[in-house]
Amino acid sequence: MATTLSRYLETLAALTRTVACSGADGTAVPTDEGFARAVELLAGRTTAGRAVIWVGNGGSAAIASHISVDFFKAGARSLSFNDGPMLTCMGNDYGYDRVFSRPIEFCAAPGDVLIAISSSGRSANILNAVAAARDRGGAVLSLSGFEAANPLRALGDWNFYVASDVYGFVETVHAAICHALYDAWAERVHGRPIPH
């Protein structure tokens, strides 16, 4: 059958109700509990002056850049490494699989938080970014989709997973999770929502 808007939105709404969360040891936790812990982590680290670093490819890169700017506007040290010249320089000099890990090696500090967004959870450059953040003493939040056993889902302190293999659905739910993180973080840190 042809896709209709109502069917598309119904599928999307159903997926938002099935977002799964797990901790660093892979144990499933109630999604709202994991979300609260992720917000607590972000609030604690940003109020201590630590940076939030966002990475993603394609649509996930757009999400990373967008939400990074929202956090930055609200007073957090927030950055993403999705600038064209940065990507092409790092890709040319170090290989595409290191376009995010090299900048993290250059500028991340202990206590920073990496938000790693990948629909498949298998992108080498995202997995390498997580390894670099860990090597620098950083925390990690991951957002992934596609296969339940994707590697990224096992690497974060808190991991959010969308059970779909359709890019548009996974990316849209990831964007919603990121907006929710921002809103909850702003309320926690500033005591009120801050428009973004």
Nearest C-alpha neighbor of 14 from the set 167, 173, 120: 173
Predicted confidence (pLDDT) at residue 194 exceeds the cutoff of 90? no
Q: What is the mean pLDDT of residues 120-132?
A: 98
What is the secondary structure of 44-90 as a DSSP string? HHHHTT-EEEEEESTHHHHHHHHHHHHHHHTT-EEEE---HHHHHHH
Mean pLDDT of 75-96: 95
Alpha helices by DSSP H, listed for the chain, are 5-16, 31-47, 59-73, 84-94, 101-107, 124-135, 167-190
Predicted confidence (pLDDT) per residue in 128-182, tens digit: 999 999 999 999 999 999 999 999 999 999 999 999 999 999 999 999 999 999 9
- Domains within the chain, CATH numbers bracketed: 49-153+167-191 (3.40.50.10490)
User: In the predicted model, is pLDDT for residue 84 greater than 60?
Assistant: yes
pLDDT class of 105 with cuts at 50, 70, 90? very high
Average pLDDT of span 62-85? 96
Model confidence at 1, pLDDT cuts 50, 70, 90, reads low
Residue that has been written with the tokens 């000099």 in this structure: 93
pTM comes to: 0.95
Q: Is the pLDDT of residue 51 over 60?
A: yes
pLDDT at 29 over 90: yes
Q: Is residue 26 classed as helix, strand or coil in its secondary structure? A: coil
First to last CA, the chain: 38
What six digits make up the tokens of 117? 């967004």
Higher pLDDT, 123 or 196: 123
